[in-house]
Amino acid sequence: MQSATMNAADTLHMLDPFEQLHRDAGCADRALVARVIAAFRNSGTLLGQFAANDTLHASSYLAVSPAYGRFLQATARTHDARNIVEFGTGMGVSTTYLASALRANGGGRLIGTEWVPAKVDRARANLAAAGFADLVEIRSGDARITLQDVGAGVDLVLLDGEFDQYLAVLLLLEPFLATGAVILADNALDPDYIDYVRNPANGYRSSVVRLDDGSCIESTTWTAA
């Protein structure tokens, strides 16, 4: 029964893991969002990529939205995913949605990777707090190295790191993809990546998915054996 003397800390502790993560992300990203808005006002351009050693970037979540997270969850559930690879773990918000689907699917494994060490620590802590540490391995370092040996049977991939590395990471993972694997790419802006996955000769079928909140995802299926 709820106590009348419950304080704010108790109430926060009761938030579901996703609500808590999105609140943390909103607070952590405030300064970065302000910088992006200021840059836009001054120069009329949006900030693009961030250097890995950029301190503001290192403390920001840059996480998927709640709607995006639910889309990831639903995709992993409908594909009965058991073997997931994620490029760009950040603080682990997308990872938590995907791990929740793995749990609901009866188990499996998720290999994520992140090159900012502080984010690796935070992601591991967030996954542990949400109760999914047993399903997730977060590899610290550059995805182009850490994902070289993920093993066969990968059935779902999320690409959410540096935009211009999507194709390199996909090519790295290609030998490990199970037939029917789905590859979701956040903001797939690199024309080389789009050309590659939209060319059926390469073994893919692909199209863009737009969510109500404006999120844009290139959703690709690996059709080759």
Q: Which residues bind ligand SAM (CB under 6 A)?
A: 52, 61-64, 88-94, 113-116, 119, 142-144, 160-162, 165
Q: Please, what is the minimum distance in Å from the beta carbon of residue 9 to ligand SAM? A: 24
- Rg (C-alpha) for the chain, rounded Å, is 18
- Closest CB to ligand SAM among 3 and 210? 210
Q: Please, what is the minimum distance in Å from the beta carbon of residue 117 to ligand SAM? A: 10
Q: Please, what is the minimum distance in Å from the beta carbon of residue 184 to ligand SAM? A: 11
- Closest CB to ligand SAM among 120 and 194? 120
Show the beta-strand stretches assigned E in the chain.
83-87, 109-114, 136-140, 154-159, 177-186, 204-210, 216-222
- Closest CB to ligand SAM among 155 and 160? 160
Pairing of strands 83-87, 154-159: parallel
Based on DSSP, count helices (H) and strands (E) in the chain, helices before strands. 10, 7
- Closest CB to ligand SAM among 62 and 203? 62
**180 touches 205 (CB < 8 A):** no
**DSSP symbols for 95-147:** HHHHHHHHHHTT--EEEEEES-HHHHHHHHHHHHHHT-GGGEEEEES-HHHHT
CA–CA distance, 35 with 85 (Å, rounded to integer): 31
- Closest CB to ligand SAM among 159 and 181? 159
- Closest CB to ligand SAM among 83 and 94? 94
**190 touches 166 (CB < 8 A):** yes
